[in-house]
Structure 1
Amino acid sequence: MSLSVAVAGASGYAGGELLRLLAQHPELEVRTVTAHSNAGQPLLAVHPHLVSFADLVLQPTAPEVLAGHDVVFLALPHGASGALAAQLPDDVLVLDCGADHRLERASDWADYYGGEWAGSWAYGLPELITPGGRRRDELAGARRIAVPGCNVTSITLGLQPGIAAGLIEPVDLVSVLAVGPSGAGRALRANLLASEILGSASAYQVGGVHRHTPEIVQNLRTAGGGEPTISFTPVLVPMSRGILATSTARLAPGADASAVRAAWEAAYAEEPFVHLLPEGAFPASGDATGANTCLVGLAVDERAGRVVAVSAIDNLVKGTAGQAIQAANLALGLPETLALPVNGVAP
């Protein structure tokens, strides 16, 4: 018997991607979709590509609408999930695709988001290296899961093997990301209009102020990095979806190229959704489009004494919706890879 699912914030990009992937899930049945300003409209009015959900109408996002389902996905703006989730029954599996429950330290929330901290939930990055193994070991049976940020996922998966193995210095980390505008959501903003971004690239949230910074540090700390420091700069580029993260780190004393590659190979040899490319090969962002994969290319810049990791993800799949479903599968005792594509879409 299928488990019932509600998707809150279904009219947005993340909500739409959740529905696209859930449509193929044999154990999860979407019964309710909610929205704010679009409530009352047929789902197809905002997502005409989701023809398998032609019978669904967007309902208001309210606890009484979401209660009564086995699984609830929250694809809401930051700051909107905490109070809503607190009103849902404890036995419901709730996955928050926003930032409200990702950070373990109230001080980090105060510094980067402000307002009341909603507390931390089980962190839904199964591949995250932990002192005891991987984060997936802690997700079985969880009923509250925080889905990681998209930029966070690309940087964490690119750098963590070197941190865990002690082959790169955890300070003076640098990451520059080319990102598509869908990561900023569907709300109309002048700087995200096609006429503003086509033929142009622009850095934003420069100088350590991006809200994903403390989450990246938190992950690399978990992987064994002590108190890491990272300079992280996202660059908006004219592609609808995708992230290409180029992350560099100083080689630790005594480390060499062969040890570096061996560490990344060992870290991801058994991972179904993280793939280390052959030596000399590097991913394009489009290689991961539509897939729940992270593709990683690796090099050692001997002259600079730095490791270079280039990681590509689809920000709406491995960066959000696919990662949420992957975590849900683990929490429910289902096969981790169920209903999640590993092949991208090209051209």
Structure 2
Amino acid sequence: MSLSVAVAGASGYAGGELLRILADHPEFTVTTVTAFSNAGQPLIALQPHLRSLAHLTLVETTAANLAGHDVVFLALPHGKSGEITAQLADDTLVIDCGADHRLTSESDWAAFYGGEYFGAWTYGMPELVLADGSRQRESIVGATRIAVPGCNVTAISLGLAPGIRAGVLEPEDIVAVLAVGPSGAGKTLKVNLLASEILGSSYAYGVGGTHRHTPEIRQNLTAAGGVGVTVSFTPMLVPMSRGILATSTARLAPGVSAADVRSAFEIAYADEPFVHLLPAGEYPRTADTVGANTALIGLAVDEVSRRVTTITAIDNLVKGTAGAAIQSANIALGLPEQAGLTTNGVAP
């Protein structure tokens, strides 16, 4: 029996990607799509690539319009989902692709986001290795409220957590620099995201520990077993519509060899359908993950400087957002985890 689905924020990039994947999901049927300023317009006018959903019309984003569905996906700006979800039935599976329910620390929320703190939900990163050796996947089973991780957070966490968990990487002095496509900033018109501003150029933003994903990265690496985690995280906007390439480095723990490091990652991801460690000496391209719910990781160990570098590529709109949301929904509902999702990218 097909499950009824509502997608809030369906006119944006994340909402559109949710709908693209959901359109071919064997167990879900999208029955309601909502928006704020675009309410009343045909979905196809805002998402012209979604031809199979041309029969849908955007309605206003309200709790009343989202109620009564089996699954509700929220692709809303931070601060918007908390007030709506409080009005939805407890037995409805609600998956928030925004930031409102990611952070377990109210003080971190106040420092990096501000406004009302709505509390933390079950965290939707199934592959995150935890300090006790389990995976976050186990907590998702049967959950009815799930918070999807930030896209930058996904790339850094998946690229470092196995090393932290195994004790082969030191949790202090972690540095990550990310090349990020502008679709991660959403569809809202902003001068700095105009093609004439970003084509042929690149620039850093959220510099000096100010990016809102910083506490979430610390939260994940602490959950993986890190004590006293410190992260210097700098995203760089680059002229590609989607994708993240995260270059993350950490110090080798004393007495640890390159073989020890590689073994930790091989063990962590050996059976993961969507996280793939590449052979030694190979490093991923963002182009290899476009359209796929896949994280590709390359690993290098510099035994002279005693630092490890991981290169992680994801599609920020799939593994970084919509794919993670649907993967988590599958797990929560007891469906096959890979249902509706692909590991194959789009090339060229």
Give TM class, smaller chain.
Answer: over 0.9
Distance, in Å, in 2 between the alignment partners of 1:227 and 1:71 is 38
Q: Show the counterpart of 2:12.
A: 12
One-letter code aligned to 1:31 = T
Distance, in Å, in 2 between the alignment partners of 1:242 and 1:226 is 30
Q: Let me know the Cα RMSD of the aligned residues.
A: 0.5
Between 131-140 and 102-111, report the one with greater CA deviation: 131-140
C-alpha deviation, 1:303, in angstroms: 2.0
Q: Show the counterpart of 1:108.
A: 108
Q: How many residues align?
A: 347
C-alpha deviation, 1:104, in angstroms: 0.4
Distance, in Å, in 2 between the alignment partners of 1:162 and 1:215 is 18
Distance, in Å, in 1 between the alignment partners of 2:228 and 2:318 is 29
One-letter code aligned to 1:53 = L
Q: Give ranges in structure 1 of 5+ residues lacking alignment.
A: none
Q: Show the counterpart of 1:276.
A: 277
Distance, in Å, in 2 between the alignment partners of 1:26 and 1:286 is 27
C-alpha deviation, 1:302, in angstroms: 1.8
Q: Show the counterpart of 2:241.
A: 240
Q: Show the counterpart of 2:119.
A: 119
Distance, in Å, in 1 between the alignment partners of 2:342 and 2:151 is 17
Cα contact 1:217–1:227 (8 A) shared by 2: no
Structure 1 residues 207 and 120, CA, compared in 2 at 3 Å: closer, same or farther? same
Distance, in Å, in 2 between the alignment partners of 1:237 and 1:254 is 38
Cα contact 1:293–1:313 (8 A) shared by 2: yes
For 1:176-191, list aligned pairs within 5 A.
Answer: 176-191=177-192
| TM-score, reference length from structure 2 | 0.99
- Identity among equivalent positions (%) equals 70
Residue 225 of structure 1 aligns to a residue whose secondary structure is coil
Q: Give ranges in structure 2 of 5+ residues lacking alignment.
A: none
**Alignment of 1:71 onto 2:71:** yes
Structure 1 residues 186-226: Cα deviation after superposition (integer angstroms, max 9, x where no partner): 00000000000000000001000000000000000000002
Distance, in Å, in 2 between the alignment partners of 1:195 and 1:303 is 43
Q: Show the counterpart of 1:285.
A: 286
**Alignment of 1:33 onto 2:33:** yes
**Alignment of 1:261 onto 2:262:** yes
| TM-score, reference length from structure 1 | 0.99
Residue 224 of structure 2 aligns to a residue whose secondary structure is helix
Structure 1 residues 273-305: Cα deviation after superposition (integer angstroms, max 9, x where no partner): 000000000001111110000000000012211
For 1:133-152, list aligned pairs within 5 A.
Answer: 133-152=134-153
Cα contact 1:9–1:35 (8 A) shared by 2: yes
Distance, in Å, in 2 between the alignment partners of 1:108 and 1:282 is 34
C-alpha deviation, 1:132, in angstroms: 4.8
For 1:175-254, list aligned pairs within 5 A.
Answer: 175-254=176-255
Residue 199 of structure 1 aligns to a residue whose secondary structure is coil
C-alpha deviation, 1:227, in angstroms: 2.5
Residue 133 of structure 1 aligns to a residue whose secondary structure is coil
Q: Show the counterpart of 1:92.
A: 92
One-letter code aligned to 1:218 = Q
